[in-house]
Amino acid sequence: MTGLIQIAAVEKSFGPVVALAGIDLEIRENEFFALLGPSGCGKTTLLRILAGFETPDRGRIALDGRDLVAMPANRRPINMMFQSYALFPHMTVEGNVAYGLEMEGVRGPELKRRTAEALAMVQLEDVARRKPHLLSGGQRQRVALARALVKRPRLLLLDEPLAALDKKLRDQMRLELKRLQHETGITFLIVTHDQEEALVMADRIALMNQGQIAQLGPPRALYEEPANRFVADFIGLMNLIEGRAAPGGLAAQGLDRVLPAAEGGLPAGTPASLAIRPERIRVRPGTPTASGDGLAGRVESVAYLGQDLILHVRVVGLARPLVARLGAGQESLPEMTEGAAVACEWTKERARLLTN
């Protein structure tokens, strides 16, 4: 892949509020890229700068080496799909999709052909003559997507496109968006606060925090190898146990022992957190073996999710319960009831030490 968008040292403030504090980023050709982060982290500001709705205070943005900052929004080879969909209620589905082409002077057979291709792409040929108010939420979302794709932009910006859908439809549309991006070859850039959404769809994720990029990389890297405590806590469920780095792991606060963790290169005594995913914890009835590294606890709550059980295990000395995710096929599950005495264990390779 080659770089399509180059963003260098971009800064943006709104009065005393710093929205972007020097962003350096490259978005590749034919990539599904996600800007992820909590509200106020700067992701939407960066999206609006790319779209041409905001101007950076400093820095450079280029597309294929051409400067974008001085280019008006309507001349950029970029389209944007808004969270509200922004469909014209008086127009049919077909009319909504064709509108952008008509504004560019496309007429006649080419207009009909490209509109029909876009509708077929999102599987809406059967409702082409309907008005938006007669469509379901998922269908309206597909119309907005077809309207954005029909002009064949180099870059498609998606601003929280699935936020208005129910969970089942969101899950379906995640796969649909991924399919469309793959089939069209258009670079997609999605802004979302939903970490699961980014993990499922994106080739790479830029996780933002306070106007900066906290970590950039493929979904697996952010999930398995978080760069710091913020990333670990934001991406998925994570157990974080505070203490200080020690040979072999973490000298945990409230526990007179060292908990096993992979060597993180931190000097002994450095304030740190042990990070371990719930699915990496083995839970079994009873107490830890005398020679083992397990923690004794009691099951505080059990949540049944069909394919998994989520256990909260209270360990004396820890500020927060440990969260463990157990596959529903495990033989020991029938004994995992509230109040049960259990042992929580993990191998050191499964846990990481992160600076606080």
pLDDT digits (tens, 9 = 90+) for 201-253: 999 999 999 999 999 999 999 999 999 999 999 998 999 999 999 999 999 98
Least Cα distance to 272 among 353, 178, 190, 182 occurs for 353
Instruction: List the 308-314 sheet strands across, edge first.
Output: 282-285, 341-345, 295-304, 308-314, 322-327
CB 17 within 8 A of CB 167: no
Q: Report how far apart the first and last C-alpha atoms of the chain are (Å, whole number).
A: 35
CB 189 within 8 A of CB 223: no
Helix runs in 56-166, H state only: 93-103, 108-121, 137-149
Chain mean pLDDT for the chain: 89
Instruction: List the 17-28 sheet strands across, edge first.
Output: 17-28, 3-14, 58-63, 66-67
CB atoms within 10 A of CB 237: 12
Least Cα distance to 342 among 310, 309, 294 occurs for 294
Instruction: List the 32-36 sheet strands across, edge first.
Output: 78-81, 155-159, 187-192, 32-36, 204-209, 212-217
- Predicted model pTM: 0.88
Q: What is the pLDDT of residues 45-88, one digit of tens each?
A: 999 999 999 999 999 999 998 999 989 998 899 998 877 777 88
Domains recognised in the chain with CATH numbers = 3-224 (3.40.50.300), 237-355 (2.40.50.140)
